[in-house]
C-alpha cells in the first residue's frame, strides 16, 4: 500500500486517491482528524495514569459517540484478578451499559496501547468501526505490530483506525512502569 507520513500528525495518510480508494475497498482506512484524536488520546492517557496509581499496567481507554465520552476505563487485571479485564474490554462493557445496547457502531474507541487479539475481537463483536491507539505493542499488538488482523477480516464490516497517536507519551508510561517493576524485583532478589 503506498502510504506517506501524515505531516500534521503522527500516523499515516494515503499518498494518492487511488491508494485511498483501494484501502476503502479493502475495508480499512487510516485517515482521521488529528486534533480530535490527539485530544481524546490525552484523556485516555489520563485513564492510563489512574491504572498506574492502582499498580496496574498503565493502559487507558475511552469510547466517544458524536463527540461525547460515553465510557472510560483502564486496565484492571490485577485488581479484579481477571486476565480479561483489559482497558478496552472494561470500556466496551461500560459503553454498552450506558447505551443499553451491544451495538457500538458510530462510536470511536481510543486506547493508549495497540489492541491485542482478544480486545480486537471484542471491538468487532461490539461493531466498533473506528478506533485510535497510541503505543505500538511489539509483543501482543493485533493491528499492525505482531499481527495485522484488521486486514484478515476479523471485522466483517469496514473499519477505520489510526495508530501512533501520542505514541511517545503512551510508550513512556509503559516503559517507566515496567522499568520500575524490574527494579523492584531486582532489589527484592538482592535482599
How many residues are present in the chain?
191
Rounded Cα–Cα distance for residues 65 and 57 (Å) = 26
47 is known as an active-site residue: no
Strands 12-14 and 3-5: antiparallel
User: 56, 88, 114, 167: which is the annotated catalytic residue?
Assistant: 88
* Residue 36: closest CA among 5, 11, 61, 67: 67
Q: Can you give the three-state secondary structure of the chain, one letter per residue? A: CCEEECCCCCCEEECCHHHHHHHHHHCEECCCCHHHHHHHHHHHHHHHHHHHHCCCCCCEEEEEECCEEEEEEECCHHHHCCCCCCHHHHHHHHHHHHHCCCCCCCEEEEEEECCCHHHHHHHHHCCCCEEEEEECCCCCCCCCCCCCCCCCCCCCCCEEEECCCCHHHHHHHHHHHHHHHHHHHHHHHHC
Catalytic residues: 88
Amino acid at each position: 500500500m503506498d502510504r506517506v507520513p501524515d505531516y500534521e500528525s503522527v500516523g499515516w495518510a494515503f499518498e494518492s486517491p487511488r491508494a485511498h480508494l483501494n484501502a476503502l475497498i479493502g475495508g480499512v482506512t487510516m485517515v482521521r482528524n488529528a486534533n480530535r484524536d490527539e485530544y481524546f488520546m490525552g484523556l485516555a492517557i489520563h485513564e492510563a495514569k489512574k491504572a498506574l496509581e492502582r499498580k496496574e499496567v498503565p493502559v487507558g481507554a475511552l469510547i466517544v459517540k458524536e463527540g461525547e465520552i460515553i465510557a472510560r476505563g483502564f486496565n484492571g487485571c490485577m485488581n479484579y484478578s481477571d486476565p480479561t479485564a483489559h482497558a478496552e474490554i472494561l470500556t466496551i462493557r461500560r459503553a454498552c451499559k450506558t447505551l443499553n445496547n451491544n451495538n457500538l457502531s458510530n462510536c470511536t474507541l481510543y486506547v493508549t496501547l495497540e489492541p491485542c487479539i482478544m480486545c480486537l475481537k471484542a471491538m468487532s463483536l461490539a461493531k466498533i468501526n473506528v478506533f485510535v491507539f497510541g503505543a505500538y505493542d511489539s509483543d501482543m499488538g493485533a493491528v499492525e505490530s505482531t499481527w495485522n488482523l484488521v486486514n484478515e477480516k476479523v471485522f466483517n464490516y469496514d473499519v477505520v483506525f489510526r495508530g501512533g497517536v501520542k505514541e511517545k507519551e503512551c510508550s513512556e508510561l509503559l516503559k517507566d512502569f515496567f522499568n520500575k517493576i524490574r527494579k523492584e524485583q531486582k532489589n527484592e532478589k538482592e535482599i
